Amino acid sequence: MAHLLGNQACMDSLRKDLTDLQGAIVDVFSRTGPVRFPSWKFPDRVACDLDMVALLEHYDHVPGDPEFTQLSHAVLLELVIDRLLLLLQSCASYLENLGSGQTVPPARAAGPCMSVGLTVRCFWNSLLRLAMLYQQAAPQKRANQGETPTSKPTAKSEPAKSPEFVTAKFIKPPSPLPVLPQTCQESDSPIRVSLQCPARTTENTRSVHSQTVETALVPCDACTSVQGSLCEVGKVVISLCQSQNLPSSLGQFQQLVQDSMGLRPLPATTVGHWAAEQSKDLMRLSKHVGALAQLVGPLRAQLEEAEGQKDGLRQQVSKLEQALQQEQVERRRQADETEQRLATWERHKQQLLSETSDLKTKVATLEGELKQQQESLQAVETKAQQLQKEAECRAEAERQVQQLEEQVQLLAGRLDGASQQIRWASTELDKEKARVDSMVRHQESLQAKQRALLQQLDSLDQEREELRGSLDEAEAQQAHMEEQLQSVQSEREQGQCQLLAQQELLQSLQQEKQGLEQAVTDLQLTVSELERELVELRERERLLVAFPDLHRPVEAQIQSSGNVTDDMERQMEANDIRIRVLQEENGRLQSMLSKIREVAQQGGLKLIPQDQLWAHSSGGIQGAAPPAQAQRASPGKSTLRTSQVRSVRLASSSEASLPPTRATPGSTPAAFAPPHIVR
């Protein structure tokens, strides 16, 4: 059998079998109603609720997928078993209804889950009970057939005109006899069908003397009125059965009587059958009405409870609507407040942007000034190098030094301005920090309010889930508020990004400030070092010119580099420097001499030759001492010129120690020996 699994012919045969089984099940359901048992294939679902059309469409033969085709074949086999079990369960239910005499199937609850063997045993037990009922009703049926031999001649004499014959032929008894095959064999002759009338009808009827068509020449008015009312009542009963979707025995009988009798009066037997069929319909209607009453009673109670719950829900809805309106008003107010705060925040942001742009411009100007200062420092360095290399240009060096001093003063002024600007920038930065802190606190408050709004939104979401059907407009407004919150969150994130950028800018400004301060300190240090070196160079030049032998030994002077021209050039440079220094000293001495001569012309001083001075000094210390009267005569003038005389003596001694070429220590030319001045 394994090679037949997935065969298309087998699967088509199974699909046809399933279609036939489903048709038989639907036929049984039309008599018993839906039988609710769990499905054998799908235990979690009811067997009568399975969509067989969808299942047959899904589990079909697929040429390109043998695995799915084999699975579909197995599922179709399982569905055949499932439908066979459902057919047995519905047939067992139908047999139970026939045995209990229920024409209207009662409402059934879901049955238990039953196996195949248990379902077959239940069906067989129901069939055995029906057979026992038939065996019990068979003797009584035979007795009833023996009590009605008088109706045979009438049926034989008038087979075409007798309404009793026609009525008995088409009446279906409510007993379980039609189910058995014996009844099918006995229903071949119309005479036997007429004799097999229900036992209930024979028990409820008896022979009554009445007029018939044969005995009465003219029908009486009472019969006509009774039959007319009976027809009207029958029509009402038939319409009620049709309106309630119930089978009507009287409807079929009425149609049969109208076809056979037309408008003629009905005989007594036909009227009796009419009444029996009508009583059946009335019994069916009464049972249906009773079942409806049983259903309507709890439904009315449920309806009353639902009305009470509806009133309570209306009150709750009204309260919720009021609360929602209040919440909407509160949210609108909060939205207005947030908009106002956002507007103020935008203004603060614009102010911050303008201030940052101003700071950027100031930083740019400071950078330009710093570049200028760096350039000036580079110029100072180049000038200092030129001073070291070109020491012979003394006057030009002094002028350059003066220019450098002026530039240093300018740089100091600029540095003061820059420091003031840096202080102002630091104060502005402190203000910006304070503003940033206030903005951060403001953002924290906004975040707290946002969290509160989110909590309120969560509570509203829960209420919205409970009352979704009646609060659609509130959901729309809530969605709008959520969009606004999202926009506020996005703006807050943008504000945070801007704050981070501003903080980074502040950090960069602080770093630049520190760099500027470091550069300023470096400039001050370099300027102080240059000034100190300049003073040392000046003093060194003066000492080298005035006292060359005190700074280096004689051996160092005699040493040479081995190149005569280089030594001579260096000696010429040294002599030029000495000559320049001596010329400056001569200029100062000339000015001092002119001043001394002016004093001498006034009579305050007199000139003494050098030989007399030496003789006078060798004679004793007293000869060199001036008299007290001269001191009293010109005390002010002599004190004014004492320092000048001493400087003249020092200059003469220094000039005597420097020969024009290379002077030896102790040699003093006569041309540079000035006359000594005494008071």
pLDDT top residue among 160 and 124: 124
- Token readout for 146 is 């023996």
Q: What span, in angstroms and rounded, lies between the C-alpha atoms of 84 and 86? A: 5
H or E segment at 140?
Answer: helix 116-146
* DSSP conformational letter for 588: H
| pLDDT for the residue numbered 608 | 59
Amino acid at 352: L
Under the banding of pLDDT at 50, 70 and 90, the label for residue 547 is low
- Token readout for 143 is 């007795």
Q: What span, in angstroms and rounded, lies between the C-alpha atoms of 608 and 601? A: 15
49, pLDDT greater than 80? yes
The average pLDDT across 67-95 equals: 90
- Token readout for 455 is 């909590």
| pLDDT for the residue numbered 670 | 37
Q: What is the pLDDT of residues 222-244, one digit of tens each?
A: 777 888 888 888 888 888 888 88
Enumerate residues 6+ apart whose C-beta is below 8 A from 500: none
| pLDDT for the residue numbered 668 | 38
Q: What span, in angstroms and rounded, lies between the C-alpha atoms of 31 and 20? A: 17
Q: What is the pLDDT of residues 143-156, one digit of tens each?
A: 777 654 444 333 33
Return the minimum-mean-pLDDT range out of 22-26, 460-464, 529-533, 547-551. Answer: 547-551
518, pLDDT greater than 70? yes
What Rg, from alpha-carbon coordinates, does the chain have?
70
| pLDDT for the residue numbered 432 | 78
Residue 47, burial from CB neighbour count under 10 angstroms (0-12, 13-18, 19+)? buried
Collapsed DSSP state (helix, strand, coil) of residue 546? helix
458, pLDDT greater than 70? yes
Enumerate residues 6+ apart whose C-beta is below 8 A from 663: 657
Mean pLDDT computed over every residue of the chain: 73
Under the banding of pLDDT at 50, 70 and 90, the label for residue 102 is low
Q: Supply the pTM of this predicted model.
A: 0.27
The average pLDDT across 434-443 equals: 82
Interior angle at CA 532, CA 526 and CA 534, nearest 5: 100
